Structure 1
Amino acid sequence: MSQALHLEHYDLNIGENNASHHTELFGEERLIVRRGEPFNITLHVKTDSGRFPLDDNSFFLIAETGPSPTKESGTRVTFALQQVTDKTQWSASATYGPAENTIIVSISSSPNAPIGVYKLTLDQQDTKIPLGEFTLLFNAWCLRDVVYMPKDAKRQEYILEKIGRVYKGTFKRISETPWDFGQFEPDVLRICFKILDSSPNYLANANEDCSSRKDPIYVSRVLSAMINSNDDNGVLVGEWYEYPDGVFPWDWYGSAEILQRWDESGPVRYGQCWVFAAVACTVSRVLGIPCRVVTNFESAHDSNANLCIDNIYGMDGERISGGDSIWNFHVWVECWMDRPDLGSDFDGWQVCDPTPQETSDGVFCCGPAPVRAIKEGELTKKYDAPFIYAEVNADVVNWMYLPSGEKVKINVKSASVGRCISTKARGSTKRRDITNVYKYEEGSQEERHSYEKADHRNKLHQEGKEPGLNLKIKLAKDMVMGKDFEVCAQITNNCMETKACKVVFMASAVGYNGKLGEYCGFTMEEAVELAPNEVKHIPLKLEHKNYAPVITSERLIKVTLMTLDGEHEEYNTAVKTIVLDGPDIEIKLLGEARVNQPMAVELSMLNTLPEKLQDCSFIVQGTGLIAEKIETRIEPVGPKEEAKARVEFKPTTAGTCMLVVRFKSDKLSNVNQSLNIDVKE
């Protein structure tokens, strides 16, 4: 029988272990390690029994996670001391410490172990001694972990980076919004595991769910469902039209506040696609899955899974609603992992989309689907590849309903969906276009092969001018909220003969998700005649008094141009979405930024509207600069007057911190500006 171990106390060496496992930014309140790499604990033993012998019978260690851990599920493991710690499985080795009566125990988890909060126990001669708890995460630094990501710069960006960019607007007018992922903010780690523990899978069978957490495919799919609240007590309530008793989605600045609110009181009102995606990115990075936020412009929503978006118009030019739509932009995340279920060709970035659009296996979730499968048209690869493929590759088919009831095809546009697919560049604040990662060049042989594999129709025409009338919409250079401006229809006759047609040119408010609002401009010419190669221009004036009452805070206007030749059954359309510019907020620093020293900024913004702004305020926030966001209310601001405010605060963290300023009022909102501030000790 081995000698009994008399333990005085133990030390989890949290500071050293967390630093070596790249988790020191979580703080030193708990031991947080990544799977497949060893960590060291120190045992302080009593001296009255002599030096404790170290061999494979000295003691055993037990690690267990979940409410009902079992050996069969892999949520409870028992292992003895070895000569050397084995990084391929749960193992431990021990040496005598430099201090008297201390033993250093090196423990390694399996690179395939379930992530979670573990209890560690020392078992010797049926005497069990608790050694505290540790949190185990996925490990992008470990070659044997399926989330392994080569190159430290990538791991720094997609696991540890706290500040990101979300891209919105239109593919011709891309705007960016800074986002604070806040993965190392207080309680966020605990909340992320609470999200997993709140899922229907966990509530139905906790042990099976905890066992499945060894697989990032499973975890990312659960997160895709739990970030929205459609089927469960998930994090965010989606809303695109009315926002009673909640936060307007455009007002969110970071993930930590959303997660903390959910922890306190359940589903948070309200989110839209970029909020869902940014929160999913935070949770994925916290759990150790490399993740980035991606925006797809002109994103198709194919509700009937035919890989086509059908737009049906009446003879008056009005679109007849259907299930399909094209969003100006849509935001999802990509998670990095191997796909042993599909083969190594499909390792790497996987699309996961937590925005509740369509159900998958009866649940509002989407992915993970390999980006490689989307590009190659491999739509049988799990999960939800056909829906994502359509978002970036669907054909747009325009139809006309004739008075007789017949439906006539106007045209097919095969290159209008999936534009300027964007993510933040690694190690930079610049935008990176990754469209070529999702799809081959339009018209290339590779693209044609991808379409064939996806059972998509062949393209109707190669690139080049089509016979008939060519329609373009020309925009004004200065389209600022509050000003009147003109857009122009340009119609070119590419035929050898004279063409006559009716022209309908109109504008309406539109949400970023494609939902049309009320009209704000309309003109029609019953009989327009164009000689061969003739070009005609028809103006449409958009006045502030007409568009201001109907547009949303996103400041989007959809302009539609149609030509109708009923005699020859020839119909043409052109559509363009306008993003009205908002005024600029100027941020002026007063004094030098130093930790715990008062400083101030002066804020100013010109009111470009021809009317007075009421209920005005500047909202200032920034991690490391301001503990809680500051809202400074100011007097009403008249037309062409400047809104001004002075805000004081004390920075709390040295280094580069981002200050975010927003302005809101009764008639003008969704105006923001950011500034990086270097804070000195």
Structure 2
Amino acid sequence: MELKIQNVNLELPENLQRHRTTGFSSSRVLVVRRGTPFRVTLQLAGRPFNPQTDSLRIKVMIGHLYVVLPVTFSKRELSSQWKAFIDPEDFNLWRPSFFITSPTSASVGNYTFQVSVFTQNSQRICALGKFTLLCNPWCSEDAVYIPFEDQRQEYVQSDSGLLFMGTCMNVVSRPWSFDQYEPSVLEACLNLLQISPQHQKNKRMDYMNRSNPVYISRVVSAMINCEDDRGVLKGNWSGDFKQGINPSMWTGSGDILEQWARSGFSPVKYGQCWVYAAVMCTVMRVLGIPCRVVTNFNSAHDTNENLVIEEYYSETGQKLNLSRDSIWNFHVWVECWMSRNDLGTGMDGWQVLDPTPQERSGGVFCCGPAPVKAIRNRRIDLFYDIPFVYAEVNADIHTIILSRAQSEVVSVSKDTERVGALICTKAIGLPRLQNITGDYKHVKSPTSTITSRTSTISDDSAFSRGKPKGVLVFLALDKSPIAGEPVSFFVKLVNKQSVAKMVKVHLNAQAKEYNHGPSDTFWEKHGVIELAPREVKVLHEQILPGQYEDVVGDDLINLAVVAVDPTSQDRVLASEEFNIAAPQLNIQIADEGSVMPNKEQTATVTFTNPFSHPVSGVLAVAGASLMHSKAYFRMLPLHPGGTVVQQITFTPSMLGNKMLQASLSLTNINVTVTGFKMVSVRSA
């Protein structure tokens, strides 16, 4: 009887578990990691396999590249080449199994393989199979190997996390669902590589280069934005989002990647830095490259590469938009873990990649991978984009006060500490931040806690123009501002001389977006203060909720004070940029200890209105592997101090720690209120 192949069994449960890709099982595709064997079983008919007369050969293909492998009875694995072997201790003649092992430097992508059985009478029977190959951070010989299991769980397998925003003195934790196991996300991430300009220009070379995570990361960094290609996201910092979705409304990567793929790869509108970074984190984790989202508070955008950022103020403390350079209150990028054999020794580990389109790198809007170690040691001679990232965390700020006609510089001072004041990421296994500032720069006293800092501009002899300052001014908040409460702060004036002074004091508050200069003044106060010789006087001030609620919302406040000594015409400025903490949504699980797969659970979301006027909006609740799709609820007008409770149901589909998150977009005020609850899904 003739031998026939009835079926090719890809042994999905066994292989997905061995390769730690069980989360991708909904795609019904065999997803494996390079350097680790996976099993394939043939179901034969007609007659059994005869090891004495029959032989197996495998042809593995990606694009037009292929390799042909004889199936041997040797289990010896060579990490540098493809191999196929039979385990002689586990061999069934009617259902013969064999293993395929890729090299640890194999290219990432979608593969097909052809199984050929050659019989004694020269008969050839063939069958086809498919698999997706990813990088392998569990394999010590892979370029993305990361040595600790808790790191691999956090930076590769975790499908939820926190993004940090606001200011370094009032950090806002924003929940984000990376969604790498949601249906169609794996396919979208692999399509991203296929439609990249590199692949379209030279498919063969692109497939070959995909063995290298440095190459992959630059392709992905460019493809997350759409400035040079058919990338995922279109940026918008104008404040007008009528043609798309306000970046603050996104809660996860899955919706963005699905919309991009469904539209035929048209850019999704709109993204800003944290959205770009979070979506890139999803793509890198899907591809098997360890990745985490990083926030740099007081991030410099140095357009002329002189490591100096100029900020201009009027004599009455109003910040002026006169420089192309800027300080973003926060900027978000990603770090990916990989070895850097292209740079010699000492540059392995975390690499900065920034998909937000700011400056071109190699003619394309992408940034990195820049080794964090190189940034710390100012190795600006190395690849890629280290000078740009170095400036983001280390530039000096020169603060310039202009005369009333803006025709004359009347005061200049500098600050060497403000830029890169806090650099952080989510802590491993915990819903809080980890301070990694010391990884990027030499800090005087590295600490894991955040300390508030009075934003004063110190006098500097190099800028004093020979005129000793007779008056000093300091500005500080009493506490971190909270929505619905007054912003309380104090101004301290110091007379350094032994003569009395009548000092003019100008206070000015402006709303600003995190990456822009401020808008018009919404609160100001002016006066004259008498200071006795050597006197120190403290002024206590407040900005009431009714004065800031309609103009600030999700934006920040730039608060400045200018003290003018009329006798000497010296002007001294102190400033602070801060955010007002929005209220949080509270989420409670009815029976938290009994959450298990395929069992419906109940949760309640609670919101109390802290504002001085009624608010209404739309509540969205989502959870990767907890809910099949987002649930939406309309919230009717809620009076000040009022509370609303919304009950929701969800049914987990996977084991592990999952995030249930909610966001409330208020319609009559520019505020998005968020909340999250970590849910532990256990087996029965």
| Class of the TM-score when normalised by the shorter of the 2 chains | 0.7 to 0.9
Tell me, in whole angstroms, the C-alpha distance in 1 between the residues paired with 2:53 and 2:338.
39
> Does the 8 A contact of 2:484 with 2:611 survive in 1?
yes
Say if 1:172 and 1:212 are closer, same or farther in 2 by CA, change over 3 A. same
Say if 1:112 and 1:512 are closer, same or farther in 2 by CA, change over 3 A. same
* Comparing 399-408 and 635-644, the one that deviates more: 399-408
**Letter paired with 1:362:** G
* Comparing 246-255 and 470-479, the one that deviates more: 470-479
Q: Does 1:110 align with 2:108?
A: no
> Does the 8 A contact of 1:88 with 1:111 survive in 2?
yes
**Letter paired with 2:221:** S
Q: Report how far residue 120 of structure 1 moved.
A: 0.8
Percent of aligned pairs sharing the same letter? 36
Q: 2:370 maps to what in 1?
A: 369
Listed one character per residue, the Cα deviations across residues 352-381 of structure 1 (whole Å, up to 9, x for unaligned) are 011111221221111110000000000111
Q: 1:129 maps to what in 2?
A: 126
> Does the 8 A contact of 1:522 with 1:540 survive in 2?
no
Tell me, in whole angstroms, the C-alpha distance in 2 between the residues paired with 1:126 and 1:560.
86
Q: 2:456 maps to what in 1?
A: none
**Letter paired with 2:576:** K
Q: 2:245 maps to what in 1?
A: 247
Q: Report how far residue 394 of structure 1 moved.
A: 0.5
Say if 1:108 and 1:569 are closer, same or farther in 2 by CA, change over 3 A. farther
Paired residue secondary structure (1:232): coil
Q: Report how far residue 162 of structure 1 moved.
A: 1.6
Q: Report how far residue 497 of structure 1 moved.
A: 6.2
Q: 2:35 maps to what in 1?
A: 36
Listed one character per residue, the Cα deviations across residues 400-436 of structure 1 (whole Å, up to 9, x for unaligned) are 3345944466111101110221111112222110110
Paired residue secondary structure (2:96): strand
> Does the 8 A contact of 2:476 with 2:576 survive in 1?
no
Tell me, in whole angstroms, the C-alpha distance in 2 between the residues paired with 1:478 and 1:307.
30
> Does the 8 A contact of 2:315 with 2:562 survive in 1?
no
Q: Report how far residue 383 of structure 1 moved.
A: 0.8
**Letter paired with 1:98:** F
Tell me, in whole angstroms, the C-alpha distance in 1 between the residues paired with 2:276 and 2:194.
19
Aligned partner (choices 197, 215, 219) of residue 218 of structure 1: 215
Q: Report how far residue 650 of structure 1 moved.
A: 4.7
Q: 1:536 maps to what in 2?
A: 537
Listed one character per residue, the Cα deviations across residues 199-231 of structure 1 (whole Å, up to 9, x for unaligned) are 122222222222211111011011111111222
Q: Report how far residue 5 of structure 1 moved.
A: 7.2
Aligned partner (choices 513, 518, 521) of residue 520 of structure 2: 518
Q: Report how far residue 59 of structure 1 moved.
A: 4.6
> Does the 8 A contact of 2:298 with 2:327 survive in 1?
yes
Tell me, in whole angstroms, the C-alpha distance in 2 between the residues paired with 1:278 and 1:195.
15
Say if 1:79 and 1:54 are closer, same or farther in 2 by CA, change over 3 A. farther
Q: What does 1:181-220 align with in structure 2 at a 5 Å threshold?
A: 181-220=178-217
Q: 1:492 maps to what in 2?
A: 494
Paired residue secondary structure (2:14): helix
Q: 1:77 maps to what in 2?
A: 67
> Does the 8 A contact of 2:336 with 2:353 survive in 1?
yes
> Does the 8 A contact of 2:3 with 2:47 survive in 1?
no
**Letter paired with 2:31:** I
Q: Report how far residue 119 of structure 1 moved.
A: 1.1
Q: 1:424 maps to what in 2?
A: 426
Q: 2:85 maps to what in 1?
A: 93
Listed one character per residue, the Cα deviations across residues 420-456 of structure 1 (whole Å, up to 9, x for unaligned) are 2111111222211011011112499xxxxxxxxxxxx
* Comparing 669-678 and 15-24, the one that deviates more: 669-678
Q: 2:439 maps to what in 1?
A: 437
Gaps in structure 1 of 5+ consecutive residues = 70-74, 445-457
Q: Report how far residue 282 of structure 1 moved.
A: 0.8
Tell me, in whole angstroms, the C-alpha distance in 2 between the residues paired with 1:532 and 1:375.
46
Paired residue secondary structure (1:346): coil
Q: Report how far residue 530 of structure 1 moved.
A: 3.8
**Letter paired with 1:79:** L
Tell me, in whole angstroms, the C-alpha distance in 1 between the residues paired with 2:189 and 2:144.
18
**Letter paired with 1:388:** V
Tell me, in whole angstroms, the C-alpha distance in 2 between the residues paired with 1:307 and 1:459.
20
Q: 1:335 maps to what in 2?
A: 336
Tell me, in whole angstroms, the C-alpha distance in 2 between the residues paired with 1:588 and 1:95.
51
Q: 2:278 maps to what in 1?
A: 278
Tell me, in whole angstroms, the C-alpha distance in 1 between the residues paired with 2:57 and 2:650.
54
> Does the 8 A contact of 2:469 with 2:570 survive in 1?
no
> Does the 8 A contact of 2:225 with 2:235 survive in 1?
yes
Tell me, in whole angstroms, the C-alpha distance in 2 between the residues paired with 1:517 and 1:566.
29
Q: 1:454 maps to what in 2?
A: none
Say if 1:652 and 1:141 are closer, same or farther in 2 by CA, change over 3 A. closer
Q: 2:62 maps to what in 1?
A: 65
> Does the 8 A contact of 1:397 with 1:409 survive in 2?
no
* Comparing 95-104 and 217-226, the one that deviates more: 95-104
Tell me, in whole angstroms, the C-alpha distance in 2 between the residues paired with 1:105 and 1:657.
36
Tell me, in whole angstroms, the C-alpha distance in 2 between the residues paired with 1:268 and 1:183.
18
Tell me, in whole angstroms, the C-alpha distance in 1 between the residues paired with 2:53 and 2:18.
25
Q: 1:576 maps to what in 2?
A: 576
> Does the 8 A contact of 2:277 with 2:356 survive in 1?
yes
Q: Does 1:165 align with 2:177?
A: no
**Letter paired with 2:352:** V
Q: Report how far residue 602 of structure 1 moved.
A: 4.0
Q: 1:450 maps to what in 2?
A: none
Listed one character per residue, the Cα deviations across residues 385-412 of structure 1 (whole Å, up to 9, x for unaligned) are 1110011110001123345944466111
Tell me, in whole angstroms, the C-alpha distance in 1 between the residues paired with 2:514 and 2:480.
21
Listed one character per residue, the Cα deviations across residues 33-56 of structure 1 (whole Å, up to 9, x for unaligned) are 11122222223445548713389x
Tell me, in whole angstroms, the C-alpha distance in 2 between the residues paired with 1:478 and 1:49.
75
Paired residue secondary structure (1:150): coil
Q: Report how far residue 562 of structure 1 moved.
A: 2.0
Tell me, in whole angstroms, the C-alpha distance in 2 between the residues paired with 1:633 and 1:350.
43
Q: Does 1:360 align with 2:365?
A: no
Q: Report how far residue 627 of structure 1 moved.
A: 2.2
**Letter paired with 1:38:** P
Tell me, in whole angstroms, the C-alpha distance in 2 between the residues paired with 1:565 and 1:554.
36
TM-score scaled by length of structure 1: 0.88
> Does the 8 A contact of 1:147 with 1:290 survive in 2?
yes
Q: 1:448 maps to what in 2?
A: none
> Does the 8 A contact of 2:297 with 2:330 survive in 1?
yes
Q: What does 1:387-402 align with in structure 2 at a 5 Å threshold?
A: 387-402=388-403
Q: 2:450 maps to what in 1?
A: none
* Comparing 80-89 and 169-178, the one that deviates more: 80-89
Aligned partner (choices 138, 149, 154) of residue 152 of structure 1: 149
Tell me, in whole angstroms, the C-alpha distance in 2 between the residues paired with 1:203 and 1:238.
24
> Does the 8 A contact of 1:37 with 1:87 survive in 2?
no
Tell me, in whole angstroms, the C-alpha distance in 2 between the residues paired with 1:499 and 1:443.
38
TM-score scaled by length of structure 2: 0.88
Listed one character per residue, the Cα deviations across residues 512-551 of structure 1 (whole Å, up to 9, x for unaligned) are 11331221111223x5554554223345442334323322
Q: Report how far residue 585 of structure 1 moved.
A: 3.1
Tell me, in whole angstroms, the C-alpha distance in 1 between the residues paired with 2:681 and 2:29.
28
Gaps in structure 2 of 5+ consecutive residues = 447-459
Q: Report how far residue 17 of structure 1 moved.
A: 1.6
Q: What does 1:470-619 align with in structure 2 at a 5 Å threshold?
A: 470-477=472-479, 479-494=481-496, 501-525=503-527, 528=529, 530-551=531-552, 553-565=553-565, 568=568, 570-590=570-590, 599-614=601-616, 616-619=617-620
Tell me, in whole angstroms, the C-alpha distance in 2 between the residues paired with 1:598 and 1:657.
15
Q: 1:351 maps to what in 2?
A: 352
Cα RMSD of the aligned pairs, angstroms, is 3.0
